[in-house]
Amino acid sequence: MTAVVALTVAFLALIALTNGACSGLAAWSTTLGIGTVLAVWRARRHSRAARLVPFLPVTVAAALTATVCIPTVPTARQYPPALPFVATHHWRLETGSRVAVYHYPPSNAASRHPVPLVYVNGGPVRGISVLDHRFLQLLARRGHDVYAYEQAGGGRSDLLPMGQYSIDRSVRDLAAFVDRLDRGKADVLGFSSGGVVLTRALADRGVATRLHRAIIAEPGPMDGPTAQLTEPKGRTSARALAPAMTGPRSTHLPRYGVAFGLMRLGLLTPDTGLIGQAEGANAFTAADLGSDTASAYCARDAHRIPAEDTARNFSFSPAASLRVQQTVKDSPSITRRLGQSRTPAMLMIAECSSQVRRWATEILAHDPAIQRTQHMPGVGHHMWNGLDGNNDRAAAVVTTFLRDKPAPLPNSPTRDEIAAFLRGQDQETDAAVVACGCGYACRSELRR
Look at residue 448 in the predicted model and tell me its pLDDT: 37
Average pLDDT value for residue range 156-175: 97
Poorest-pLDDT segment among 108-112, 130-134, 302-306, 407-411: 108-112
Can you tell me whether residue 379 is helix, strand or coil? strand
Q: How many helices (H) and strands (E) does the chain have?
A: 17, 8
Answer whether residue 319 shows pLDDT above 70: yes
Q: What's the distance, CA 157 to chain centroid?
A: 16
Average pLDDT of the residues of the chain: 92
Poorest-pLDDT segment among 58-62, 415-419, 431-435: 431-435
pLDDT tens across 20-47, in order?
999 999 999 999 999 999 888 887 776 6
Look at residue 281 in the predicted model and tell me its pLDDT: 96
Answer whether residue 246 shows pLDDT above 90: no
Average pLDDT value for residue range 202-213: 97
- Measured at the CA of 357, the angle between CA 132 and CA 380, to 5 degrees, comes to 35
Residues of the chain with CATH 3.40.50.1820: 89-421
Considering the chain, what percentage of its residues have pLDDT values greater than 90? Answer: 85
Average pLDDT value for residue range 343-361: 96
Answer whether residue 426 shows pLDDT above 70: no
pLDDT tens across 280-315, in order?
999 999 999 988 999 999 999 999 999 999 999 999
Distances in Å between the Cα of 363 and the Cα atoms of 69, 97, 193, 223 are 44, 28, 14, 11
Q: Does domain 89-421 have CATH number 3.40.50.2000?
A: no
Q: What is the side-by-side order of every strand in the sheet holding 370-380?
A: 89-92, 98-104, 146-150, 117-120, 186-191, 211-217, 345-352, 370-380
Distance CA 376, CA 373 (A): 9
